[in-house]
Amino acid sequence: MTVTYTANVATSRVISNFLRLLFRWRGSIYKLVWLDLLVFLFFYLLLAVCYRTAMSDAARSGFEAVVLYCNSHATLIPLSFVLGFFVSIVMNRWWAQYTTIPWPDSIATLVSSSVHGFDDRARAMRRTILRYVCLCQVIVFTMISPSVKMRFPTYDQIIEAGLLQQNEKDIIETLDLQFPYYPKHWMPIVWAASIVMRARRENKIRDDYAVKTIIDELNRFRGLCGFLLYYDWVSVPLVYTQVVTLATYTFFLCRVIGQQWIDNPHSRTAGNRIDQYFPIMTILEFFFYMGWLKVAESLINPFGDDDDDFELNWMIDRNLTVSYLIVDEMHQEHPELLKDQYWDEVFPNELPYADESQRAAPPEHSTARLVQSKSGRSNIPSVRSSESYKPGATYFMPHSSGLTNTSSMNWSTSGMTIGDDIGDSLFRHKRFERSRRRHESDERQSSTSLNFEELIEQRNRERRERLRHRFLNMRNNQRPSSTGRYVVTVLRPPSPRSSQHSNAVEEVEEEEEVMEPETDVPNNKPDKYE
C-alpha cells in the first residue's frame, strides 16, 4: 500500500517535518538507489586505483585526455529537461489511474433506496446486483495486477471467495471458448442490469427514473473498469522511456570517467585535494539524478508490488463488505427521528469547541479594513452642470491640467469680465464656500469614527437576531392552532330571486374538525380532510 506520512506533516514546525521523513526506509529513495550507487562507486574507485597505481606514463596521459574530454562534453546531455518532463508525465498518469479505480458505494446506495422489499427475493436481488459489480472489478484487477492474479489465479478461487457461482463460471468459460480474444469483465454488469429490469417488472422498483439512474451508474462503473484496462494496454511510449534511460546511464558513464581526479594542471581537480580521496559532489549528483529516474520507474505502473503501489487486495475486501452492509444490513434503516438541540432556535449562532481557545475569527473580505485616507480624498469640488454661463460672471481657468489643491492653484481670468471688483468678490466667495464644506466634512468623519471591528460584530448580531425572529414568525404563522379547526369560506352563486342584487354574495363559514397525528415532529399540513 502507498506509504502514508500525512499525520507527520500536518502542522509546519520550526524544524522541518520533512527532515524526520529522511530516516524512513520503506518507500524511500535509499531503497531504490543503493545498488546502483554501489556499482557506480565500484567503477569509480576501480578507475582511480588503476590510474594511480597500474598505468604507465603514456597510459596516464591518454587517460587524462579522456577525462578532460568526458568532463567538458558530458553536460551536452540535457538530463534535467529529459528527466523532469518524463517524471511529470508519469506522476500525472499515476494519479489519473488512481482516480479511475471505481468504487461501488454509489451503486449500493441507489440499489438500497430503490429496490424495495424485505422478502428473500428482494434481498437476493439487492445482494446479487452488488456481487456482480464487485465481480466485474475483481476480474479487471486480475488482468492488471500481479498480486491480485496470485490471489485469484483461476475462477475456482473466485468461487471460494463467494464472488462467483458455479453456473456463472460455466457461462463465462463457455464464452471464453467461443470468443477467446476478448475480456469478459463486462458480463457481470450485463447480468446486474438484467436483474434491475426484472425488479422493475416485479414492482420492486417503483419508477422508471430509478431504473435509469441505477443503469447509468452500472455503465459508469463498467466504463471506469475499461479505462483501467486501457491504462494497462497503452503505456508511456517506449521510445521516450528508452531515451530517458539511455540519457541517464550514458551521462553517468561519462561522469564516472570525467569526474576522476588527475594530476594535470589543466584539469578541474588541479589543487583540489577533496576529490583526490572521495568524490562527494559526484556521489550527490548521481544520487539525485538516478533517484529521479527510479521515481518514474516505481510509479509508471502503480498496480505492481512496489511500496508505493495501490493495495488492490484491500480494495476488493472492503468493497464487498461495504456493499453487502449497505444493501442488506442497513436497508431502509435509520436512527429514531428526534428534535435536534437547536429546534427552538432554528439555527445555532455558534457551535461549541472542546477547547475555546481554538475558536478563530470569521474570515473577512479583502477590503474589510480598507479606509480612505484624508490625503487620498480630492479637495476639488465638481462643477455642476447647472452652473452655466451667466452674464456678468467671471470665469477662472486653471493653468495646470492635473488635480491640485485649490490653495496652490494659479488661476487666470479669460474674456467675459464685466468688472474686476465683482470677479474678485466672487472668487473669494467660492474659496470660502469650499473651505467651509471641507471643514464640515472633516468634522463629520472625526465624530463618526467608531471601532470597525465592533461595528461589524454589532451588525452581525443584529442580522442574526432578525433572521431568528423571522424564522420563528414564519413557523408560528404556518403552524395550525392547537384545536385543529380550519375555517372554510364557501362562495355561493346568487339565486334567481335576488337577480337585482347580483353584486351581493352570501358567505357561509363552515368549520371542520381535523384529527392531527400524534408525533414528536410537528407537521404544518394535515394528513387528511374529512
Tens digit of pLDDT for each residue in 137-176? 999 999 999 999 999 999 999 999 999 999 999 999 999 9
Give the mean model confidence (pLDDT) for residues 517-522.
Answer: 44
Give tens-digit pLDDT for 362-408.
Answer: 888 888 888 766 555 555 444 444 444 444 444 444 444 444 444 44
Count of H-run helices and E-run strands, the chain: 17, 4
Say if CB 43 and CB 257 are below 8 A apart: no
Cβ-proximal residues to 102 (8 Å cutoff; 6+ apart), any chain = 137, 220, 221, 224, 225
Say if CB 227 and CB 99 are below 8 A apart: no
DSSP H helical ranges for 161-207? 166-178, 187-201
Give the whole-angstrom CA distance, residue 285 versus residue 489.
Answer: 92
Q: If pLDDT is split at 50, 70 and 90, which confidence band does 440 have?
A: low
Return the domain boundaries, the chain.
28-76+237-299, 100-233, 341-347+452-480
Give tens-digit pLDDT for 242-301.
Answer: 999 999 999 999 999 888 887 776 666 666 666 667 888 889 999 999 999 999 999 999
> What is the b/e burial string over 315-335, where b = at least 16 CB atoms within 10 angstroms of the residue's CB?
bbeebbebbbebbeeebeeee
Give tens-digit pLDDT for 200-235.
Answer: 999 999 999 999 999 999 999 999 999 999 999 999
Q: Give pTM, 2 decimals.
A: 0.67
For residue 368, what is its C-alpha cell?
Answer: 474589510
